[in-house]
């Protein structure tokens, strides 16, 4: 029997969460080149843990992100499980056409709440990016492919400084309005702390339904789990994470890995929020990552 305070906290939490595993994309885009067979094995192992969504690649400019250049081969070789959605980033129509040819289950478009990051990451303004997404979403709809949206730098931008929560809220709403089924809010450089995250989410949730909002924390200062707990208390029930904390962003100097999936599962299960993920199997995947990718690259996570 919990006391009044603990009870009021636990009654604010969602009953279950969906975890979006971004390790094979957000994680590996920031590691030195990983062999195709290791990527495929990583995704196959993740598929057996109970994770329902695995972001498995990106159809982006190879010159910019060479780590993702073999995404078509990744999709060709993985053993797909029926209850898992395998997704990829598609910044434009060219990316989407490649994703369709690779038979992806869903795609994601991505922009930023700060202009400088948007320019460096996808070579256009925020407004141009939203225009660019419209035909992407239209073609995806024709193929019955759901489109997720990412909004980066929702707390701070490495170039422009602090981000105004109203800007985040407006852009998240616009992304939902143009047809993204969900917007994942990225603390790209991991500088958020729970009260700033609360302020940002409070503003977003006045414009957007909480069931269409996900959170995506990088763990630069070890704040990701605290921030996720804050988001859970505000009713957010989709969380992005990366097995073994792989990750970072090549266009965000200092950004460290994503929050580790095994830490998110441990937190959620420990506070009575179901994840559907088998933590012992997930820990085996973490060991696989530590023994292959991390050992091979001899770094925890490169910070660019």
Catalytic positions, written as ranges = 249
> Among residues 68, 27, 42, 31, which one has the least CA distance to residue 299?
31
- 6: buried, middle or exposed (CB in 10 Å: 19+, 13-18, 0-12)? exposed
| Binding segment toward Mg ion, per CB under 5 A, in 20-28, 47-55, 98-106, 284-292 | 20-28
Binds ligand HMG by CB under 6 A, chosen from 56, 67, 114, 152:
152
Query: Please, what is the minimum distance in Å from the beta carbon of residue 141 to Mg ion?
Result: 25
249 is an interface residue for ligand HMG by CB under 6 A:
yes
Nearest residue (beta carbon) to ligand HMG: 186
Residue 199 binds which of Mg ion, ligand HMG, none (CB < 5-8 A, kind-dependent): none
- Tell me if 75 sits within 8 A of 86, measured CB to CB: yes
Helix (H, G, I), strand (E, B) or coil at 150: strand
Q: What are the DSSP calls for 97-143, one per residue?
A: HHHHHTT-SEEEEEEESSHHHHHHHHSS-HHHHHHHHHHHHHHHHHT
- Which string of x and - marks every residue 86-105 that binds ligand HMG (by CB under 6 A)? ---x-xx-xx----------
Nearer to Mg ion, 26 or 31 (CB): 26
- Distances in whole angstroms, Cα of residue 115 to Cα of each of 9, 78, 125, 154, 156: 37, 36, 6, 12, 12
Q: Between residue 174 and residue 213, which ones bind ligand HMG under the rule CB under 6 A?
A: 186, 188
Is 26 near Mg ion (CB under 5 A)?
A: yes
DSSP state of 155: S
Q: Which is nearer to Mg ion, 188 or 230 (CB)?
A: 188
Query: 62 to each of 65, 70, 84, how far by Cα in Å?
Result: 5, 9, 26
Task: Report if residue 150 touches ligand HMG, rule: CB under 6 A.
Answer: yes
**Binding range to ligand HMG, per CB under 6 A, among 8-16, 60-68, 77-85, 158-166:** 60-68
Q: Indicate which single residue of 24, 49, 51, 59 sits in contact with ligand HMG (rule: CB under 6 A).
A: 59
Structure tokens belonging to residue 257: 């890995």
Give which of Mg ion, ligand HMG, none residue 59 binds (C-beta under 5 to 8 Å, depending on kind): ligand HMG
The answer for residues whose C-beta is within 8 angstroms of residue 23's C-beta and 6 or more apart is 42, 46, 241, 242, 243, 244, 246, 247, 258, 261, 289
CB nearer ligand HMG, residue 20 or residue 285: 20
Residues engaged in binding ligand HMG (CB under 6 A): 26, 29, 58-61, 64-65, 89, 91-92, 94-95, 110, 121-123, 150, 152, 186, 188, 216, 249, 251
Residues engaged in binding Mg ion (CB under 5 A): 26
């Amino acid at each position: 029997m919990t006391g009044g305070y603990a009870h009021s906290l636990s009654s604010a939490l969602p009953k279950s969460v969906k975890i979006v595993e971004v390790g094979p994309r957000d994680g590996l885009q920031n590691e030195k080149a990983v062999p195709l067979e290791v990527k495929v094995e990583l995704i196959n192992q993740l598929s057996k843990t109970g994770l329902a969504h695995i972001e498995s690649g990106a159809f982006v400019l190879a010159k910019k992100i060479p780590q993702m250049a073999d995404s078509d081969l990744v999709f060709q070789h993985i053993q797909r499980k029926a209850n898992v959605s395998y997704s990829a980033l598609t910044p434009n129509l060219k990316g989407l056409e490649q994703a369709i040819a690779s038979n992806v289950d869903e795609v994601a478009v991505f922009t930023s709440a700060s202009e400088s990051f948007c320019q460096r990451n996808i070579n256009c303004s925020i407004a141009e990016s939203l225009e660019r997404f419209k035909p992407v979403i239209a073609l995806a709809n024709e193929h019955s492919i759901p489109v997720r949206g990412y909004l980066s730098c929702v707390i701070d931008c490495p170039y422009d400084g602090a981000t105004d929560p109203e800007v985040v809220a407006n852009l998240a709403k616009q992304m939902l309005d143009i047809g993204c089924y969900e917007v994942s809010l990225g603390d790209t450089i991991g500088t958020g702390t729970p009260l700033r995250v609360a302020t940002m989410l409070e503003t977003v949730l006045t414009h957007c339904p909480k069931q269409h909002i996900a959170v995506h924390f990088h763990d630069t200062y070890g704040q990701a789990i605290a921030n996720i707990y804050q988001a859970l208390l505000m009713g957010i029930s989709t969380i992005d994470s990366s097995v073994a904390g792989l990750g970072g962003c090549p266009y965000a100097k200092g950004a460290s890995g994503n929050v580790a999936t095994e830490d998110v599962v441990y937190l959620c299960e420990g506070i009575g929020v179901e994840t559907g993920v088998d933590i012992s199997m997930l820990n085996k995947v973490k060991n696989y990552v530590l023994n292959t990718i991390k050992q091979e690259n001899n770094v925890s996570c490169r910070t660019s």
